[in-house]
């Protein structure tokens, strides 16, 4: 089928949707709310092997950015080693997961889209959309409009498309965690380059990994049960965050405090959210994907991966189905169970980060015993996450 697609959102899911649709022979225009997408641009994320495989399917090579991150080592704040985990088995050519800066990933995707001739319009914040059953008319905050055969809402956590499809859809849910991080030089962590080191500290969670050039990338999760306002976060300067973090990590074994002290800049803190199960993903030629449909906590590093997988599957469904409604139905059937299982896993894992001093003791014992048992038996309970592959050549069947 030949369609003209409108895409709301120019982040990972939106830009990749356009790239995937182009591969499927479907025209798309990306409408990005901001002048340039820079959401948490200083932060970084790990692209697991399932995400890298999906990117390759679309002709995007993330090997140009970041560095290999094959494993994670987990320790307690007392310095006790709890165990190690792999980010899935390598791809057939030996490729392993990679950690990349968000800004570099956005730039890579935008440049790829531009090479394909995909239009990206900036300053186009979606405010309303309506369908007559055959076409969709989108209206933007700047007074402009756009018309197409379908609308893909890749507009993230605060999705306006989700609200348009279902005004009763659940909104975002604060997780009780704040995020910050930074980059440091001149500190030796003792860890090999590319090893993700996760520390379940006495007062906060800390993760760090060393770039092959010696720079250390780090992130911290701080428990804050009551959700702070944007104004409260904005009023807290980088040096205040630095002092607060130094206080949180001063009693922990490991390099956390040294890395915080050595960082030239501390990221502006942001809040962690997820979205409870969204009952309705599509209506009247409009659909939500990525965080707009199934935002997950960052604790298992699959938020971007799920969005990336979404784009490939949706493009295949539109390519192979007899109509838009049939394509959307097939897409939901193929994706909902997997992404909701990932969201549940992320919430469960994220809950381990914010435990109090009493609960930390059994947590560490349970985690250590479980990881030792897995290593002894050669088990990997996360295999179902990382082994997922989307075969572009395999047609989507109506009964899939």
Confidence check: pLDDT of 353 > 80: no
Q: Averaged over 331-356, what is the pLDDT? A: 77
Helix 102-116 with 12-23: angle, nearest 10 deg: 30
Q: What percent of the chain has pLDDT over 70?
A: 88
Q: What pLDDT shows up at residue 6? A: 98
Q: What is the dihedral of CA 30, 32, 35, 41, to 10 degrees?
A: -110
Res. 300 pLDDT band, cuts 50 70 90? confident
Q: What pLDDT shows up at residue 86? A: 86
Q: What percent of the chain has pLDDT over 90?
A: 75
- With contact defined as beta carbons under 8 Å apart, do 141 and 296 qualify? no
Confidence check: pLDDT of 399 > 60: yes
Confidence check: pLDDT of 307 > 80: yes
More confident residue, 129 or 1: 129
Residue 136's H or E segment, with its range, is: strand 136-140
pLDDT tens, 172-207?
A: 989 889 999 999 999 999 999 999 999 999 999 999
Q: What is the rounded CA–CA span in Å between residue 144 and residue 94? A: 48
More confident residue, 281 or 359: 281
pLDDT tens, 68-83?
A: 999 999 999 989 898 8
Please name the fold of domain 4-172+275-386. Answer: FAD/NAD(P)-binding domain (3.50.50)
Res. 382 pLDDT band, cuts 50 70 90? confident
Res. 39 pLDDT band, cuts 50 70 90? low
Query: How many beta carbons lie within 10 A of that of residue 191, not counting itself?
Result: 16
Q: What pLDDT shows up at residue 314? A: 98
Query: How many beta carbons lie within 10 A of that of residue 397, not counting itself?
Result: 9
Partners of 136 in beta bridges:
131, 148
pLDDT tens, 364-375?
A: 555 555 555 655
Chain mean pLDDT for the chain? 90
Q: Averaged over 330-350, what is the pLDDT? A: 86
- Asked whether the domain spanning 173-273 has the same topology as the one spanning 4-172+275-386, the reply is no
Q: What is the rounded CA–CA span in Å between residue 246 and residue 236? A: 15
Q: What is the rounded CA–CA span in Å between residue 374 and residue 383? A: 12
- With contact defined as beta carbons under 8 Å apart, do 116 and 291 qualify? no
**Domain extents in the chain:** 4-172+275-386, 173-273
Query: How many beta carbons lie within 10 A of that of residue 364, not counting itself?
Result: 20
Q: Which CATH number is 173-273's, of 3.40.190.10, 3.40.50.2000, 3.30.9.30, 3.20.20.70?
A: 3.30.9.30
Confidence check: pLDDT of 123 > 60: yes
Residue 196's H or E segment, with its range, is: strand 196-200
Res. 376 pLDDT band, cuts 50 70 90? low
Confidence check: pLDDT of 36 > 90: no
Confidence check: pLDDT of 213 > 70: yes
DSSP for 97-116 reads -EEEEHHHHHHHHHHHHHHH
- Percentages helix, strand, coil for the chain, rounded to the nearest 5? 35, 25, 40
Q: What pLDDT shows up at residue 370? A: 54
CA nearest neighbour of 32 among 58, 6, 59: 6
> Cα Rg for the chain, rounded, in angstroms?
21
Q: What pLDDT shows up at residue 197? A: 97
Confidence check: pLDDT of 146 > 50: yes
Q: What is the rounded CA–CA span in Å between residue 373 and residue 367? A: 10
- With contact defined as beta carbons under 8 Å apart, do 66 and 98 qualify? yes
- With contact defined as beta carbons under 8 Å apart, do 255 and 30 qualify? no
Assigned token pair, 20: 């995937």
More confident residue, 344 or 55: 55
Alpha helices in the chain (DSSP H): 12-23, 49-57, 102-116, 160-165, 230-234, 238-249, 256-262, 291-294, 303-320, 324-350, 357-377, 383-386
Q: What pLDDT shows up at residue 366? A: 56
Q: What is the dihedral of CA 111, 112, 116, 117, to 10 degrees?
A: -30
Assigned token pair, 384: 């179902």
CA torsion sign for 267, 269, 272, 273 is negative
pLDDT tens, 40-50?
A: 567 999 999 99
Q: Averaged over 288-311, what is the pLDDT? A: 89
């Amino acid at each position: 089928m030949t369609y003209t697609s409108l895409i709301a959102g120019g982040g990972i899911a939106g830009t990749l949707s356009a790239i995937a649709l182009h591969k499927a022979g479907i025209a798309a225009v990306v409408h990005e709310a901001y002048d340039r997408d820079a959401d948490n641009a200083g932060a970084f994320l790990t692209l697991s092997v399932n995400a890298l495989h999906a990117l390759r399917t679309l002709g995007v090579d993330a090997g140009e950015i970041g560095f290999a991150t094959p494993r994670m080592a987990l320790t307690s704040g007392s310095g006790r080693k709890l165990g190690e985990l792999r980010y899935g088995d390598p791809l057939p050519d030996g490729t392993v997961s990679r950690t990349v800066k968000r800004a570099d990933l956005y730039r890579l995707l935008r440049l790829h889209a531009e090479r394909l001739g995909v239009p990206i319009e900036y300053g186009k914040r979606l405010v309303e959309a309506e369908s007559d059953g055959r076409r969709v008319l989108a209206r933007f905050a700047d007074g402009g409009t756009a018309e197409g055969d379908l609308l893909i809402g890749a507009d993230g956590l605060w999705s306006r498309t989700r609200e348009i499809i279902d005004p009763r859809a659940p909104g975002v849910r604060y997780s009780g965690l704040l995020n910050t991080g930074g980059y440091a030089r001149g500190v030796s962590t003792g860890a090999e380059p590319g090893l993700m080191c996760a520390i379940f500290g006495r007062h906060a969670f800390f993760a760090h990994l060393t770039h092959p050039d010696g720079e250390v990338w780090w992130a911290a999760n701080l428990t804050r049960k009551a959700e702070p306002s944007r104004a409260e976060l904005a009023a807290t300067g980088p040096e205040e965050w630095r002092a607060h973090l130094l206080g949180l990590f001063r009693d922990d074994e490991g390099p956390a405090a040294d890395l915080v002290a050595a960082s030239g800049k501390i990221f502006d803190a942001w809040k962690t959210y997820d979205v409870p199960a969204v009952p309705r993903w599509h209506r009247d030629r409009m659909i939500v994907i990525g965080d707009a449909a199934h935002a997950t906590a960052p604790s298992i590093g699959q938020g971007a991966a799920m969005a990336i997988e979404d784009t490939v599957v949706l493009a295949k469904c539109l390519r192979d189905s007899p109509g838009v409604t049939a394509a959307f139905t097939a897409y939901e059937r193929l994706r909902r169970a997997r992404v909701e299982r990932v969201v549940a896993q992320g919430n469960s894992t994220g809950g381990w980060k914010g435990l109090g001093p009493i609960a930390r003791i059994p947590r560490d014992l349970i985690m250590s015993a479980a990881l030792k048992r897995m290593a002894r038996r050669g088990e990997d309970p996360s295999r179902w996450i990382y082994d997922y592959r989307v075969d572009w050549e395999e047609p989507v069947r109506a009964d899939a």
